[in-house]
Structure formats: structure tokens, C-alpha cells
Amino acid sequence: MDVALEIEGVSHTFVAEGNGTPVRALDGIDLRLAPGEFFSVIGPSGCGKSTLLEIVAGLTQPTAGRVVFDGREILGEVPDGVGMVFQEDASFPWLSVWDNVAFGLRRRGTDAAETKRRVDYALQFVGLADFARHHPRQLSGGMRQRVCIARTLVLEPRLILLDEPFGALDQQTRLVMGEELLRLWRETGATVLLITHGLDEAAMLSDRIGVMSARPGRFIETLITGWPRDRDSQVVNERHFGELTAQMWTHLRAESMRSIGT
């Protein structure tokens, strides 16, 4: 199999602020993603999935193991070709929607004509072309996330990392945004690694799903969804969808209760 992203034996321990006790966040994570694959990680709260994403992005150095992207090991800095979307609203309130989306391109020194072409296209793609001159404060939460998605899209990333990008939105908006994400994925042809709480989100969006245990996080099980590439949110009507969520919950129920402390 052609490998876009390889995570080898990654473990991570960090010292908790305040009382200084060491916390084992991750315990021996192994994962290989094929190019253009959509992979979701699902697990209970605090299991370390966000930490895993930060390690893959190069924002954190793991205490053990390594991550290889595009044939090169990630060592302490974010590699070229990676786009990230976070749970919190990362749109800058002091810039217009257009300037927000153009921000990354300008930092790279992309020329004005190319920037304009890409930004206009991205805004049209996420359906915010009419709001180019608006400011984030004038937009809803879902629209602001679309700004962040557009900002990632213009950079034409080869690997897209998403940390619960729709966590702050209501359930129905989440389903709609899920479809947006699938469009983005098909448009860029990128490899996607998504962290989520939502069973239905993982089941609907992914090619494969990694189920993570409670802390210290490790993969208990990997599920293959087998959906076609041109899927949308209507897969929720499929029988297989229900089977997938049931399978996930079988594993996660015990892990979730463990992490809450019952």
C-alpha cells in the first residue's frame, strides 16, 4: 500500500500543569494512512486524540515513536502541505472574511493575482462569496467554521487534520457541515485525519475509523466503512450505518464509562 502518513509506535507522556504529575496521554499508536484516505479517530473524552493530532501536525514532539509524512519524518515543526481545522473559532475578528481566507497565502508570498483567484474560488466553494466583505462577528458559528475551512482549502494541502471541527455546532448544522467536508476532501484529493466525538459523524464521513481507548489512548479496533467516494449525509439511511455506530458503541461504552470514572 502506498503510504501518505505513517505513525510508528507513538507514545506521549506530559507533565500536568499545577500538580506536576506525569500524564500518559498515548500508548503505542501505530497507523498507516493511504493517500487520499479519510480516517476518523473516535474515543472517549480525554483519551488523547487531540494530543495525537498535535503530534501528527508537528506542534508537539512525542516522547516516543515517530511520524513520517510524505516520506519525511516530522521533527518539531509543521511540515509543508498540512492544513488544520480546529474546534474553536480560529477566524480572526480584525480581518474581513476575504482577508481571513487569504491570510495563509499572503504569508507564503503568493502573488496577488493567484491569491485572488484561489480565495474567490474557495469562498464560492464554501458558499460564502456574498460575505467576502463581512467580518466574522457578523457570521454564525457554522459560517465562521466555513471561513476556516476555506482558509485551509486555498493552501491546497495534501494532508488535512481536523480536531473536532464541528464540536461547537448544533447537531443538524454538523450534518450539513459534514457534507461540506466531504466536498472539500474530494476537491483537494487530500488525505484526511479527523478527530471526533460523534459516532454518526465518524460513520458517515470516513473510509476507516480508529476506535481509541480511554487514557492512555491506544487503538482498540479499526473499522472499515466501505462507503463510495461520492457519498453524502444520506448514508445515514443505510443499514450498514447503524451497524457501524453499534459496533463503535460496543467498544466505546465501556471506555467512556471508564474515562468518566464510573
E strand segments, the chain: 5-15, 22-33, 38-42, 64-69, 72-73, 82-85, 159-163, 191-196, 208-212, 219-224
Backbone angles phi, psi at 159, to 5 degrees: -130, 125
Distance CA 79, CA 183 (A): 24
> Pick from 17, 107, 237, 239: which binds other proteins (CB under 8 A)?
107
The least CB distance from residue 225 to other proteins, in Å, is 27
Q: Using the rule CB under 8 A, give the single segment among 23-31, 103-111, 216-224, 226-234 that binds other proteins.
A: 103-111
3-state secondary structure of 40: strand
> Pick from 6, 8, 70, 89: which binds other proteins (CB under 8 A)?
89
In the bound state with other proteins, the residue whose beta carbon lies nearer, of 177 and 204, is 177
Angle between helices 141-153 and 171-188 (to 10 degrees): 10
The reply on whether position 134 binds other proteins by CB under 8 A is: no
Beta strands 191-196 and 38-42 are parallel
Distance CA 145, CA 216 (A): 30
> Pick from 63, 92, 186, 256: which binds other proteins (CB under 8 A)?
92
The letter for the amino acid at 194 is L
The reply on whether position 130 binds other proteins by CB under 8 A is: no
Number of other residues whose CB lies within 10 A of the CB of residue 2: 9
The reply on whether position 136 binds other proteins by CB under 8 A is: yes
The reply on whether position 137 binds other proteins by CB under 8 A is: yes
Binding residues for other proteins restricted to 12-51, rule: CB under 8 A: none
The least CB distance from residue 84 to other proteins, in Å, is 4
> Pick from 43, 48, 62, 104: which binds other proteins (CB under 8 A)?
104
The answer to whether the CB of 159 falls within 8 A of the CB of 69 is yes
Binding residues for other proteins restricted to 60-79, rule: CB under 8 A: 77-78
The least CB distance from residue 94 to other proteins, in Å, is 5
Distance CA 155, CA 78 (A): 14
> Pick from 14, 45, 73, 93: which binds other proteins (CB under 8 A)?
93
The letter for the amino acid at 141 is G
The reply on whether position 165 binds other proteins by CB under 8 A is: no
In the bound state with other proteins, the residue whose beta carbon lies nearer, of 15 and 246, is 15
Contacts with other proteins, residue ranges (CB under 8 A): 57, 59, 77-78, 80, 82-84, 86-90, 92-94, 103-104, 107, 135-137
